Amino acid sequence: MSTIIIDGKALAQNIRHDVANRVSALKEKGITACLAVIILGDDPASQSYVRGKEKACGDVGILSRDYKLSSTTSEEELVLLIEELNRDESVHGILVQLPLPKHINESTIIETIDPNKDVDGFHPNSLGKLMLGQDTFIPCTPHGVIKMLESVDISTEGKNIVIIGRSHIVGSPLSQLLIQKTPTGNATVTICHSRTKNLSDFTKRADIIIAAVGVPQMLTSDMVSDGVVIIDVGVNRVEDSTKAKGYRLVGDVDFEGMLNKASVLTPVPGGVGPMTITMLLFNTIKSAEITFDRR
Ligand SMILES: NC(=O)c1ccc[n+]([C@@H]2O[C@H](COP(=O)([O-])OP(=O)(O)OC[C@H]3O[C@@H](n4cnc5c(N)ncnc54)[C@H](OP(=O)(O)O)[C@@H]3O)[C@@H](O)[C@H]2O)c1
């Protein structure tokens, strides 16, 4: 069986093209979509994500306002900054790069963000609406996964879908999207995690597997059935002395081993990653358009 590889970069590019058109149309009406990005400290992975987001904003014409703060910033200072951005009518989206330093309570920070500017979709208000099937900001990675399945006309209706990973940013919201009574839902979803016994018993019965674990290449070909559709969310650094940086990125799936066994597969890098940033742009223009409509 030949495996279809979903090109996340190409798909992301198509969606970014649409976003760029919407950004221009809004600019003509006098509103420049603006995303405020807050990062604390100098963790290289977080800084690299933030640089990627800034560049993506620039490419589609979204204004990116960056707040690079010290890792010793207090929770109170961060709350005050977010409250100021909540009041600032020229800001349409607020993103706080996670993880935060240990002395800051992540829930407090996420709950401080105005739900109307919650373009990450992590606020309890957004997640509650998602669960109820109401219009909201859908968290970017789960939204990207849905778009990837759509792009290759994979129907989720009646399918057995196994999600490995139950985080609040990927696995849990994705499970909600996939069980909704919508054309991209109607699936029977099983969520597996670190306490799941005999993971293979679940993955072997799956029509579609979404791996969001953070363990390099843990899903191997002996754990899946022929023709399975696999979306690999994982991004893991593994040592590689042949690379200038000393490491390379791999997913949670043994990509090579799945070739000719899976019917559809996503690469890492170049799969879900570009889609995640793209859906952030999508949420930011959506927020700016809502602001314009409310005027
Ligand atoms: N491509 C992107 O844009 C993107 C976006 C977000 C995340 N990611 C990547 O996706 C991965 C997951 O991210 P996350 O934030 O969801 O991570 P997370 O919060 O650490 O959650 C990982 C989940 O995997 C489960 N797990 C860990 N080891 C397992 C095992 N051996 N077998 C089965 N389940 C296991 C954990 O179970 P417990 O709940 O029991 O601990 C947890 O539910 C990471 O590699 C991350 O870098 C990529």
pLDDT single digits (tens) 221-256: 999 999 999 999 999 999 999 999 999 999 999 999
Co-location of 265 and 158 in the same domain: yes
Q: In angstroms, rounded to a whole number, what is the distance separating the alpha carbons of residues 148 and 275? A: 8
Closest CA to 31 of 93, 111, 78: 93
Co-location of 216 and 110 in the same domain: no
Please, what is the angle between helix 124-132 and helix 171-179, to 10°? 30
**Which residue is listed with tokens 């890792």?**
71
**Domain with 158 in it:** 140-273
Co-location of 177 and 77 in the same domain: no
What lines the ligand 1 site, CB under 6 Å?
141, 164-167, 169-171, 192-196, 199, 212-215, 218, 233-236, 272-273, 276
Q: In angstroms, rounded to a whole number, what is the distance separating the alpha carbons of residues 4 and 6? A: 6
Q: Which CATH number does the domain housing residue 97 bear?
A: 3.40.50.10860
> Sheet of 63-69: strands edge to edge?
63-69, 34-40, 93-96
Co-location of 156 and 268 in the same domain: yes
Residue 44 has pLDDT above 90, yes or no: no
The predicted pLDDT at position 9 comes to 97
Atom index in ligand 1 nearest the CA of residue 251 equals 45
Residue 162, beta-bridge partner list: 190, 209
Residue 131, domain member (yes or no): no
Neighbours of 215 (CB within 10 A): 14
Distance 91 CA to ligand 1 centre (A): 31
Are residues 82 and 94 in contact, defined by beta-carbon separation less than 8 angstroms?
yes
Q: Which CATH number does the domain housing residue 154 bear?
A: 3.40.50.720
Give the count of domains, the chain: 2
Residue 279, domain member (yes or no): no
Catalytic residues: 53, 97, 120
The predicted pLDDT at position 45 comes to 85
Co-location of 221 and 151 in the same domain: yes
68 membership: H or E segment, kind and range: strand 63-69
**Mean pLDDT across 31-58:** 94
Which residue is closest in CA terms to ligand 1's atom 8? Answer: 234
Co-location of 264 and 192 in the same domain: yes
Pocket test for ligand 1, best of 193, 199, 249, 279 (most atoms within 8 A of CB): 193
The predicted pLDDT at position 23 comes to 98
Co-location of 168 and 97 in the same domain: no
Residue 175 has pLDDT above 90, yes or no: yes
> What is the C-alpha radius of gyration for the chain, rounded to an integer number of angstroms?
19
Residue 92, domain member (yes or no): yes
Which residue is closest in CA terms to ligand 1's atom 22? Answer: 213
Task: Please give the single-letter amino acid code of residue 242.
Answer: T
Q: In angstroms, rounded to a whole number, what is the distance separating the alpha carbons of residues 208 and 256? A: 18
Q: pLDDT band at residue 218, thresholds of 50, 70 and 90?
A: very high
Q: Percent of the chain scored above 70 by pLDDT?
A: 100
